[in-house]
Structure 1
């Protein structure tokens, strides 16, 4: 994955946008992932200090995604009206405050309440950023732009683990546990980022002071090419376009299965590593960063490969099914080092497929339909964030082994790979019925197998 190079007006403007716009969005998304997943580092400490059981932890970790998904579409519809800058800033300020208040968790109930509130506060962040991609970048550059944004959660896994582990070493300072310091400090950092977004984030190219008027116009013109005019300004009468098209439903279901695996594994990596006889919060956090390393490689490599050979349904199907193979290998080997490496490879595949999901979806919607449709896909997908940790928690409760959830990975991944066949049909149907011409591709953005 590379930032476009060249001298024409659009290319220069795109390069500027990727260097100036994306880092700010990445910073916000980075902290959202740190604040969302730092609970994994606190798992055993919450059990010891507060008495939260393994099953209760799995339920609480998943409840975040339940309210996140519930408020996703309403949040993005409000974003469409008030603008991404103010809404993303509001989201960051509110979820930062909730994160800091999680230092006052005292039992199962307060844990559940905190996770429910955190999901509601953060709802709409990611689809708001995806909506901005439809305003800033042409279709052939969106997989690259989304890939850069997905560096944020992978860096969150890579850096957030050691950061959270280091903060937890503050245990007993001023009478607080280490996990309390972690929640407090990371929440305050997020609130500062929310203020930065409010001041500096441009909503559309014309708002960017670092673009010339000609560059801004070139970006907007290319971003508008090939847009679907259906439901551009009103959702009324266009609910089917936003929520009911077969390709939207199938992408959402495959994304759901992806998130079952991603979050089931991510929320349990620290305890899996601890089960490999690794001691010390910082070392556990450091080794947990293997998911971040794998994710970084995935989003950098997969979007670049997709740009060169964008066979949409085939690519999605292969990437959906591969985690089953990796999970089977994980269960077959006993070497701790090899198991950690396999977790990293699995993260590479899981994260690497995500920019492709969103590129496929964004190519076929625009306007308020895009705001609602992208949020709907995220809603369907992120319910997997509830199901994954919960199923992993149940599996561990029954076996006492945190690796027992890998059997769930095998099942969900095989189903996801199989659904790619139906996705191929749905994309072909969508592209035959739409009246919007496919974006022109020197880079062949549409899959040759789904063209009319």
Structure 2
């Protein structure tokens, strides 16, 4: 964890900063370029369409060329696109930039999750993924003040503050890509800081209790990677989670600004409440899950909780209470994610894991398009950035209902696995036949 995860987290940190800091530029883009709230919501969401579209192909290439080179390539390309977004001039160039950014970044997260399956035993994966998710939560916590500070460079060299933000953050990302290429070990056997015996022990523990490998070709494994009911259900629940997460995340700065807060740096600083909540969630939820390993029950409770919080948010008017509720909601939304991936990883490996994890991410991240777009439409209709919280209520309640179906699907999957092997995959007590 100490040697591998910090470098993965650094790359993921910048990916989250680069994709979400346009929220800080929202009102400035409207003033400087003429991008409306609805156009901003569409552009923010377009990132996720190409991101989702290229997820599976990207991860299949990663499986062939290796995670180290592929993660470095992704960082270099999305860093370059981020810097080029400083040349946005209208709605169309904004859309093109977001589409290109999604295509460049596609495959990063499932590639990291595939690495987790290569390095960590199933019992430790939720904890490891929780640490990986520190990257986006810290991105929300620190990225806001960082972006806000860069935007204070407004008029320096004849550029707007948002142009400096895109340029500098893109250059930082490209530097991280070069560091990953030089120092990221691909599998335990490649790590210079492990003995041969230690590397073999790590690999053996990672493979022990895993689902069948499925060979090195996706042919004949399509159903295992894409068609199993539990995979589809996790993907749909993840989709609803992302509708909420990205709808809220991309609009927190404008919500805070609507509370009579002024100044780019202060707005960015207060927007970090999502990062504070998310950090708490990804650290605490895996610990709770490890002690009370009830897979679908945990996912169901965490899916419904944002609906309750959103209802309270709409019922109160205090700025302090509203900002606090955003933090609590972020803790729950982010805290759910390590559990999603741990449940899925327990039931796939090899090429099936490479394709299946990317497929779940593909289904889920289309919610990253839908969420900001729906929030943008509701704001355009009501004039209130917080009106999108009604969408949170609907999405969360549907997710809670689907958790009941997930419970049955997991039981069926594990009965099938137990019947086909004498060494079944490690399972949580809830889903034992």
TM-score, scaled to structure 2: 0.99
Which residue in the other structure is 2:369 paired with? Answer: 386
In the alignment, the residues of structure 1 paired with residue 55 and residue 238 of structure 2 have an alpha-carbon distance, to the nearest angstrom, of 15
**Is 1:428 paired with 2:399?**
no
Deviations 1:189-228 (A, max 9, x none): 0000000000000000010011111111110000011222
Which residue in the other structure is 1:222 paired with? Answer: 205
In the alignment, the residues of structure 2 paired with residue 318 and residue 59 of structure 1 have an alpha-carbon distance, to the nearest angstrom, of 30
**Is 1:447 paired with 2:431?**
no
**Match runs of 1:43-442 below 5 Å:** 43-229=26-212, 231-434=214-417, 435-436=420-421, 437-439=423-425
SS in 1 for 2:348: coil
In the alignment, the residues of structure 1 paired with residue 36 and residue 91 of structure 2 have an alpha-carbon distance, to the nearest angstrom, of 8
TM-superposed deviation, 1:374: 0.1
Do the aligned partners of 1:232 and 1:366 also contact (CA within 8 Å) in 2?
A: no
**Match runs of 1:13-28 below 5 Å:** 18-28=1-11
Do the aligned partners of 1:172 and 1:178 also contact (CA within 8 Å) in 2?
A: yes
Do the aligned partners of 2:87 and 2:163 also contact (CA within 8 Å) in 1?
A: yes
**Match runs of 1:22-41 below 5 Å:** 22-41=5-24
Deviations 1:411-450 (A, max 9, x none): 000000110000000000000111343445xxxxx33221
TM-superposed deviation, 1:369: 0.5
SS in 2 for 1:353: helix
Moved more, 284-293 or 207-216: 207-216
Deviations 1:255-314 (A, max 9, x none): 000000000000000000000000000000000000000000000000000011110000
In the alignment, the residues of structure 1 paired with residue 15 and residue 149 of structure 2 have an alpha-carbon distance, to the nearest angstrom, of 19
Do the aligned partners of 2:308 and 2:393 also contact (CA within 8 Å) in 1?
A: yes
TM-superposed deviation, 1:232: 2.9
Which residue in the other structure is 1:14 paired with? Answer: none
In the alignment, the residues of structure 2 paired with residue 50 and residue 255 of structure 1 have an alpha-carbon distance, to the nearest angstrom, of 34
Do the aligned partners of 1:230 and 1:238 also contact (CA within 8 Å) in 2?
A: no
Do the aligned partners of 1:33 and 1:153 also contact (CA within 8 Å) in 2?
A: yes
Moved more, 206-215 or 241-250: 206-215
TM-score, scaled to structure 1: 0.94
Deviations 1:4-45 (A, max 9, x none): xxxxxxxxxxxxxx0010000000000000001010000000
Do the aligned partners of 1:262 and 1:347 also contact (CA within 8 Å) in 2?
A: yes
SS in 2 for 1:279: coil
In the alignment, the residues of structure 1 paired with residue 107 and residue 119 of structure 2 have an alpha-carbon distance, to the nearest angstrom, of 19
Point out where structure 1 has 5 or more consecutive residues left out of the alignment: 1-17, 441-445
Do the aligned partners of 2:225 and 2:355 also contact (CA within 8 Å) in 1?
A: yes
Which residue in the other structure is 1:12 paired with? Answer: none
SS in 2 for 1:171: coil
Do the aligned partners of 1:139 and 1:439 also contact (CA within 8 Å) in 2?
A: no
TM-superposed deviation, 1:230: 5.2
Do the aligned partners of 2:82 and 2:167 also contact (CA within 8 Å) in 1?
A: yes
In the alignment, the residues of structure 2 paired with residue 259 and residue 26 of structure 1 have an alpha-carbon distance, to the nearest angstrom, of 20
Point out where structure 2 has 5 or more consecutive residues left out of the alignment: none
